[in-house]
Amino acid sequence: MNEISKRLSDSVLRCENLILDAEAHIWAHPEPGYREWNTSAYLAERFEDLGYTLVKAGDIPGFYADLDTGRPGPRLAILGELDSLIVWNHPEHDPETGAVHACGHHCQSATLLGVAAALKEPGALDGLCGSIRLMSVPAEELIELGYRNELKHKGVIRYYGGKVEFIARGYFDGVDMAMMIHTGNLPEGKTLEFNRGNNGCIVKNITFHGTAAHAGGSPQRGRNALYAANLALDAVNALRETFVDEEHIRFHPIITQGGTAVNSIPDTVRMESYVRGASYECISDANRKINRALAAAAAAMDCRVTLEDAPGYQPLNNDPALAEVMAEAMRQISGPDSVIFTDTWSKGSTDMGDVSAIMPAVHPHCSGAQGLSHGADYAIRDRNLACVLPARCLAVTAGLLLENGAAAARRILAGAHPLFPSKEAYLAAIDRFDRTLDAVDYPSEGTALLRFADPEA
């Protein structure tokens, strides 16, 4: 470990109490996406105590702060996520909201705070060039789609995911590369794991419209929206064998409203889902099939269906050169055999994929957790592995990237080939998936007209 790396790693260690206090506080006060006002305020206060000037998102939670070395060079973003999940059967869920950090984002926020504190120590930036943007980002978990749809219709947000929204607002403008570390559960002795990447997704709000009638006295006068939804799920399930294995298509709907009274034929049924896949092209193709099945099932029951599609997340592609620099940082800290590289493609999704679509980015997993991610038994078993060690790794990685005239960062940028050449091209591409479609019409007696096609890819 060279002098700069040791200095940065030791600086984080001196901030251990600050990191662990933040982890404990945020775990005890979970908030789901675009509701993280208290978490954001807690972190903002501590950043300001450290001397940072914050750019706050304002009408949504989250902020960023820049730290300039005073010498020209690339700008590196280090990210932490604010939001929790909702897991009602988790033993430590919030009794009012069901919120709990069953994916470890509270550790990310504590880690980000530790990096921020370490970089403010006297001499921390000596020998480095360029700048570092520390970003506290809301709403990574794509949940409560109905609520986010309300925010979108009110004009508060354009996109459901926090990083996508931050990109659209210009908060990534001028950033050259980005990194974060997600809490995970690795084998004993392993502290960092990289895979190739993750699925992307689009978001679907689906509303079946029928006609209410007395369920016992005159059901023949109703049109049952719940039966239409059930039939639609069967229709999509019958399509699954047409999905190509290598494209990793996933469709996993939930019914969020299935009726209002047991003695009334349900006239409105709402569903939420994603369509996930390894590329936006295969997602678009699968979504077209799924929309056709949803529309046909509604027509079979003489109902209508409204399909609200919205951009979800781009597939994540971990930049291999940036990953190797971070891996070297972790090896320096925790040993030569502490890092795992796999050829695995994750079927989950993250809005870090959207960042990777416009710049080199990495999103590995560290150790320290136990239980199933998003599950009732999720917990942090080792706070040092989950919070302190990742902060040391991120700080040392920043040093390796920005030392020696930012030679490593410049090499990565020279060899990078993100999916889109600019933020504008990226936003134009994802906006093609933003539309509302009344998928069934009855233009004349005995005729049903289906509309289910995606925008052209």
User: Taking the mean position of all CA atoms in its chain, how far away is CA 146?
Assistant: 17
Structure confidence by residue, pLDDT tens digits, 183-234: 999 999 999 999 999 999 999 999 999 999 999 999 999 999 999 999 999 9
Phi, psi of 398 (to 5 degrees): -60, -40
DSSP 165-230: HHHHTTTTTT--EEE--EE----TT--EEE-SEEEEEEEEEEEEE-B--BTTT-GGG-B-HHHHHH
Domain ranges of the chain: 3-196+318-419, 201-313+433-450
d(CA 313, CA 316): 8
Per-residue pLDDT at 382 exceeds 70 = yes
Q: Is 328 helix (H, G, I), strand (E, B) or coil?
A: helix
d(CA 330, CA 160): 33
pLDDT, position 280? 87
Structure confidence by residue, pLDDT tens digits, 316-325: 999 999 999 9
Query: What's the whole-number average pLDDT of the chain?
Result: 96
What's the whole-number mean pLDDT along residues 248-276? 95
Contact 356, 163 (CB under 8 A): no
- Fold topology of 201-313+433-450: Alpha-Beta Plaits (3.30.70)
d(CA 215, CA 208): 18
Per-residue pLDDT at 457 exceeds 50 = no
pLDDT, position 48? 98
d(CA 449, CA 438): 10
Structure confidence by residue, pLDDT tens digits, 293-339: 999 999 999 999 999 999 999 999 999 999 999 999 999 999 999 99
Q: Is 450 helix (H, G, I), strand (E, B) or coil?
A: strand
DSSP 363-415: --EES-EES-TTSTT-EES-HIIIIIHHHHHHHHHHHHHHBGGGHHHHHHHHH
Per-residue pLDDT at 455 exceeds 70 = no
Contact 199, 346 (CB under 8 A): yes
Backbone conformation region of residue 93, classed left if phi is above 0, alpha if psi is from -120 to 50, else beta: beta
- Fold topology of 3-196+318-419: Aminopeptidase (3.40.630)
Contact 235, 165 (CB under 8 A): no
Q: How confident is the model at residue 454 (pLDDT cuts 50, 70, 90)?
A: low
pLDDT, position 452? 87
pLDDT, position 215? 95
Per-residue pLDDT at 59 exceeds 70 = yes
